[in-house]
Structures are given as C-alpha cells and as structure tokens.
C-alpha cells in the first residue's frame, strides 16, 4: 500500500501560513502577523462557547442593549470580552471600535501601531436557533504618533486604508477567511487538533451569480430603484437566499456567486449595517476576490466615515450583479443617500476587564 495514502498530510496551519506570508516582506516586524494570530485564538475560544451554548446557560438575552439600541445576547457579550481581551493582551492594538461598545476602547497599549474595528458576534439573533453566525474584523495602521492613546482620526479611516480584514463563520464547520490585500484565503478549523488549516486558497468570487439575498419583509419601503432591481432578480429566476446572518449570506455568495443587499428602509433609513465593522471589511475581502461593494452609487471603501457606528446601504457580491443593482438605482437618490444617523443612547454598555 502507498504510504502516503495511509497518512495524508494535514495541510498548512493558519499560523504557518501567516508566518510564510510575513517572510515575503523582509522589513515586516511581525506585529500584524501576531495580531491576526490573536484574533484566531479568540475565535477558537468563541467557537468553543458557541458550540456549548445549548448545554450551559449562555444562550438568550443578556438583559441590556448595545449602542445601537439592540438587545444584547449573552454570547454577544462573551464574544466581545474574548476578542477585546485577546487584542489587549496581544499588545499590537492601541484602540478598538466594537459593535457592542458605545465609545472607542483604549487598550492601554499606547505603543500599539494598529486599530481594530470589530463586530464580535454578528447575526446574534440566530444564536438560539443554531444558525450560522460570525465575527467580522477590520485592521488599520494608526495615523497618530505612538506613545499615546489612539484617536478618532485613527479609528475613522476610509476602508481603502485597511491593512487586513476578515471574518470567522461559525457554521457547519468553523472557518476564518482573511485578506491582507494580496488575495483572500480561507482556513477551516479542525476541532481535534485545535488548528485552522488552509482549505480555500486564493478565493476568487464568480463574476456573476444567480442568488440574491435581501430581507424582502421590508419591500414596502424599498426605494423604486431597489424594488426594480429585486424584480429584475425575480425575472431572471434567481434564487432568493437570506439567512439573516450577514457573514453566512456573504460567505455563501462569495463562493457561489450572488449579491447581498441591505438597502435603506423605513425602519433603517441609512441601511442597517455598520460601515466600520460590517461593510468595510467584507468590501475589502470581496474586492480582493474579484467582486464589488457599493452603497448604490459609491464604492463602500471610499466612504469617509464620520462616526464609529455609522450605517450605510450595502450592495455586495459578484461584480456584474452589483453593477446591475447600481444601474437600477443610478437616478434613485433615496436608495443611496446615506447620512450617519444619530445613534440612540445605550441603556447599558459592556465593560471588559
Ligand atoms: P447584528 O449585528 O445586530 O447581528 O445585526 C446585523 C445582522 C446581519 O447579520 C444580518 O444580515 C442583518 O442584521 C439582518 O437584519 P434583518 O433582520 O433586518 O434582515
Ligand atoms: Mg453585526
């Protein structure tokens, strides 16, 4: 018998992959690599908590609201604590913006060269019913001098300044997908070994697709252009697929081709999704994979953020489909006219020790 068949190689671990990529840049200090490893470690811990959620008392509402006025789930709070702690202990990050915290979080690492924007657990309304959820993150190099706390200018950079971005999907398997601006790679978690292994090298998204993902429950308040685009998708007999969990909808469309849309609606006048830790990181990934992301008229990554929790309409996926959507809403100002809405006052914010 062929010895190789008896013991197949397990493949490249995320750690080794990150290390090899770093070797391509002789002057790299290794800090970004370490930061990515910190995120992967926190993701493993969060993955463990999610997998146990039916067994111990960590499912359900926490009894508080985040800055967006949304009910926090216990796992939202747990994930927030895990990621912030990992980033704080790592030492590379001076400041964090998290979906779960009103204010910028100062880690105390004033020498840290990076800032991170993170949605620690996206799609959290799906936690209790065993539907895929995710973590989304975006990494920027700070623009203010080191040696002091990070500033608003460090945190409010346009998406074009991202040095890395990624997501973790906690689904039928757990995966981490990330880019540092040189293509997109996906890693699948092997539970028994406790490692992420390279499973999806150099992801390229199809130029077009036959899936559209939008919450049609809000269709009464779609602008005419968005409504016309949805009708176009139906006329083409596209499949409607909407999990209601952004990372899961995005991940499927990235691999299979399709478009995800969260437009302005009566309830969410600037769209629902947040520019800094939902839209921009996924926009960076989709562009690196050959796709496109826009607010209807403008490239997502070129929007100049004004506030940390800013929302924007979101059209993301296969290039041809996003361009088709843009053509429908070209003269439809309502669809893309996003202004940062004033954020509701949080009833209680999480604090991480
Ligand atoms: P969250 O960050 O509070 O979980 O909200 C974001 C989620 C996305 O994952 C998902 O695509 C969207 O909200 C679903 O919203 P809706 O229920 O309005 O369709
Ligand atoms: Mg979210």
The verdict on 330 and 222 lying in the same domain is yes
Q: Write the pLDDT tens digit of every residue in 173-207.
A: 999 999 999 999 999 999 999 999 999 999 999 99
Nearest to 146 by CA among 121, 115, 104, 173: 115
Q: Write the pLDDT tens digit of every residue in 9-43.
A: 778 999 999 988 887 776 678 899 999 999 999 99
Per-residue pLDDT, averaged over 114-143, amounts to 93
CA of 244 to the centre of ligand 1 (A): 6
The verdict on 177 and 223 lying in the same domain is no
The verdict on 196 and 215 lying in the same domain is no
142 occurs within a structural domain: yes
The verdict on 223 and 245 lying in the same domain is yes
Residue nearest to atom 14 of ligand 1 (CA): 244
| For residue 84, pLDDT beyond 80 | yes
Q: Write the pLDDT tens digit of every residue in 277-321.
A: 999 999 999 999 999 999 999 999 999 999 999 999 999 999 999
CA of 19 to the centre of ligand 1 (A): 34
- From the CA of 67, which ligand is nearest? 1
Task: For residue 353, name the pLDDT band (cuts at 50, 70, 90).
Answer: very low
The verdict on 162 and 256 lying in the same domain is no
Find the domain containing 231 and state its range.
211-336
| Whether residue 122 has its Cβ less than 6 Å from ligand 1 | yes
Return the exposure string of 235-272: e unless at least 16 CB atoms fall within 10 Å of the residue's CB, then b: eeebeebbbebbbbbbbbbbbbbbbbbbbbbeebbbbb
DSSP-assigned states of every residue in 184-245: EEEEEEETTTTEEEEEE-S----SS-SEEE--GGGGGG--HHHHHHHHHHHHTTPEE---S-
Distance of CA 254 to the CA centre of its chain: 13
Per-residue pLDDT, averaged over 131-152, amounts to 97
The verdict on 179 and 51 lying in the same domain is yes
329 occurs within a structural domain: yes
Whether 189 contacts 171, CB under 8 Å? no
36 occurs within a structural domain: yes
Look at the chain and report how many structural domains it folds into. 2
CA of 125 to the centre of ligand 2 (A): 10
**Three-point CA angle 98, 102, 105, nearest 5°:** 55
- From the CA of 124, which ligand is nearest? 1
The verdict on 134 and 223 lying in the same domain is no
Long-range contacts of 52-55 (CB under 8 A, 24+ apart): 53/127, 53/128, 54/130
The verdict on 186 and 234 lying in the same domain is no
- Which pLDDT score is estimated for 59? 65
Nearest to 348 by CA among 13, 29, 66, 116: 66
- Which pLDDT score is estimated for 54? 63
The rounded distance, in Å, linking the Cα atoms of 81 and 125 is 18
> Please, which residues have CB within 8 angstroms of residue 112's CB and are 6 or more apart in sequence?
91, 92, 93, 94, 95, 142, 146, 150
The verdict on 152 and 248 lying in the same domain is no
Three-state secondary structure call for residue 166: strand
Whether 51 contacts 36, CB under 8 Å? no
User: 């912030």: which residue's tokens?
Assistant: 84
CATH of the domain at 330: 3.40.190.80
The verdict on 227 and 138 lying in the same domain is no
350 occurs within a structural domain: no
Question: Phi, psi (5° rounding) for residue 60?
Answer: 90, 180
Per-residue pLDDT, averaged over 201-221, amounts to 97
347 occurs within a structural domain: no
The rounded distance, in Å, linking the Cα atoms of 256 and 318 is 9
The helix (H) or strand (E) run that includes residue 116 is: strand 114-122
CA of 98 to the centre of ligand 2 (A): 10
The verdict on 192 and 305 lying in the same domain is no
Would the pTM count as exceeding 0.85? yes
First to last CA, the chain: 56
């Amino acid at each position: 018998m062929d010895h190789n068949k008896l013991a197949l190689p397990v493949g490249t671990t995320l750690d080794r992959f990150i290390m090899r990529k770093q070797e391509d840049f002789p002057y790299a200090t290794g800090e970004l690599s370490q930061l990515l490893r910190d995120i992967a470690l926190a993701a493993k811990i969060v993955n463990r908590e999610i997998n146990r959620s039916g067994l111990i008392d960590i499912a359900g509402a926490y009894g508080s609201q985040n800055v967006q006025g949304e009910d926090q789930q216990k796992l939202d709070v747990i994930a927030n604590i895990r990621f912030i702690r990992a980033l704080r202990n790592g030492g590379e990050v001076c400041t964090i913006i998290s979906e779960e915290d009103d204010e910028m979080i100062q880690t105390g690492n004033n020498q840290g060269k990076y800032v991170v924007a993170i949605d620690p657990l996206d799609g959290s309304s799906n936690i209790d019913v065993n539907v895929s959820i995710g973590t989304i993150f975006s990494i920027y190099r700070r623009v203010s001098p080191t040696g002091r706390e990070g500033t608003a200018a460090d945190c409010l950079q346009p998406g074009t300044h991202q040095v890395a971005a990624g997501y973790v999907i906690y689904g039928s398997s757990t995966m981490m997908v990330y880019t540092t601006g040189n293509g997109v790679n996906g890693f699948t978690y092997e539970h028994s070994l406790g490692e992420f292994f390279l499973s999806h090298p150099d992801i390229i998204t199809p130029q077009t697709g036959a899936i559209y993902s939008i919450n049609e429950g809000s269709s009464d308040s779609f602008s005419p252009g968005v409504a016309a685009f949805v009708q176009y998708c139906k006329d083409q007999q596209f499949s409607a697929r909407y999990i209601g969990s952004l990372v899961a909808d995005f991940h499927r469309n990235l691999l299979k081709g399709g478009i995800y849309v969260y437009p302005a609606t009566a309830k969410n006048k600037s769209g629902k999704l947040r520019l800094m830790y939902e839209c921009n990181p996924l926009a960076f990934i989709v562009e690196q994979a050959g796709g496109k992301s826009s607010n209807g008229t403008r490239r997502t990554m070129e929007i100049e953020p004004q506030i940390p929790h800013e929302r924007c309409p979101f059209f993301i996926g296969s290039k041809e489909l996003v361009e088709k959507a843009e053509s429908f809403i070209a003269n439809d100002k309502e669809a893309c006219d996003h202004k940062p809405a004033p954020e509701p006052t949080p009833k209680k914010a999480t604090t991480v020790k």
